[in-house]
Amino acid sequence: MNNYTNDNTARRYKAHVSILGTTQLHLRNPYIIAWWSAAFPGFGHLLLSKYLRGYALFIWEVIVNTNANVNASMIYSFQGNISMAKEVLDTRWLLMYIPVYLFAIWDSYRTTVDMNRFYVLAEREEHRFNSFSIGALEINYLDKRNPVVAVMWSLFIPGLGQLYIHRILTAFFVIIWLVIFYYNSHIQEAVVFLFLGKVKEATAVLNPEWLLFIPSHYGFATYDSYMNTVENNKLFEKDLRNHLSENYQSKAFRILKGQKVK
């Protein structure tokens, strides 16, 4: 592959390969990104590789949600107990929760629109970028990987799919918070009771407030690993095609439009 580095000689780069992962610009649907922010603030920004903003919003969601008893209120709403759903809400925390929740949705949508524009400009500029990075701790390179394998590992344990495609920052963040959610929800203990046929004990030991965090966590890890595997494959194929064209294709080679090759 090439030996180019992102040395700020171009206005925009489509991608950057570092020992911590591959970050790239590509077209995204703003509504899908906004939907993930609505499902869990921070997820939309993590999909955009806006890590610091994503981490801040994610941690904010967990802290304020648990203190405002939002998940507990949702559980009572699912059970049809509306009066109890209202009673458990802590308005002191809830009034802080709503503005940041709306900001996460709006900002992820706005950022996606901007990044799509930058992608179009970077695609026209076609400046080369580094495709191989080696350091004392890690090696990362553009390669083709199987999206189905990424999904499979994400369904086993969220974060493993990200490790498979070398999204180190997202992988560690997802795995650490999965452990926190598992521990506080007692889901592992409930699974053991289910294996023993003790359904009542399994239900009693669960902490539903923390349990509600887990489905969206699994969904995000699966979607993120699949989507980024597909986009990394596209980036690899285009980079390899450019490399072969520049170094191995005859300078006299031409494709004439409208004429059949005999």
pLDDT surpasses 50 at 178:
yes
| Helix, strand, or coil (residue 18) | strand
Is 74 among the domain residues?
Answer: yes
Residue 3 domain flag? no
- Position 213 scores a pLDDT of 94
pLDDT at 117 over 80: yes
Task: Provide the pLDDT for residue 259.
Answer: 61
**Rounded Cα distance, 48 and 54, in Å:** 9
- Beta carbons of 16 and 129 less than 8 angstroms apart: yes
Cα separation, 62 vs 68, in Å, equals 10
- Of all residues in the chain, what percent carry a pLDDT higher than 70? 93
Which residue type does 71 have? N
Does residue 262 surpass a pLDDT of 80?
no
Greater pLDDT, 43 or 16: 43
Cα 182 to Cα 200: distance, rounded to the nearest angstrom:
19
Distance separating alpha carbons of residues 231 and 25, to the nearest angstrom: 9
pLDDT at residue 3 is higher than 70: no
pTM: 0.88
Neighbours of 26 (CB within 10 A): 18
Residue 234 domain-assigned (yes or no): yes
- Contact assessment for residue 32 and residue 48, using Cβ atoms and an 8 Å cutoff: no
186 and 206 in contact (C-beta within 8 Å)?
Answer: yes
Identify which has the larger pLDDT, 154 or 248.
Answer: 154
Task: Supply the pLDDT for residue 10.
Answer: 64
Q: Which residue has the tokens 């194929």?
A: 237
Domains identified in the chain, total number = 1
Q: CB under 8 Å to 29, separation ≥6 — which residues?
A: 112
Question: What tokens does 8 get?
Answer: 């700020």
User: Rounded distance, CA 50 to CA 228, Å?
Assistant: 14
Distance between CA atoms of residues 123 and 28, nearest Å: 14
What is the per-residue pLDDT across 10-28, written as a single tens digit (0 to 9) for each? 677 888 899 999 999 999 9
Q: In this structure, is residue 1 part of a structural domain?
A: no
pLDDT digits (tens, 9 = 90+) for 50-97: 999 999 999 999 999 999 988 888 888 888 888 888 888 888 888 888
List the domain range (segments joined by +) for residue 124.
15-241
Residue 249: the pLDDT is: 74
Q: Which two tokens stand for residue 83?
A: 């009066």
38 in any annotated domain: yes
| pLDDT of the residue at 187 | 92
Residue 1: predicted pLDDT: 47
Which of 34-38, 75-79, 111-115, 222-226 shows the lowest per-residue confidence on average (mean pLDDT)? 75-79
CA nearest to 188, candidates 180, 217, 150: 180
Query: In this structure, is residue 146 part of a structural domain?
Result: yes
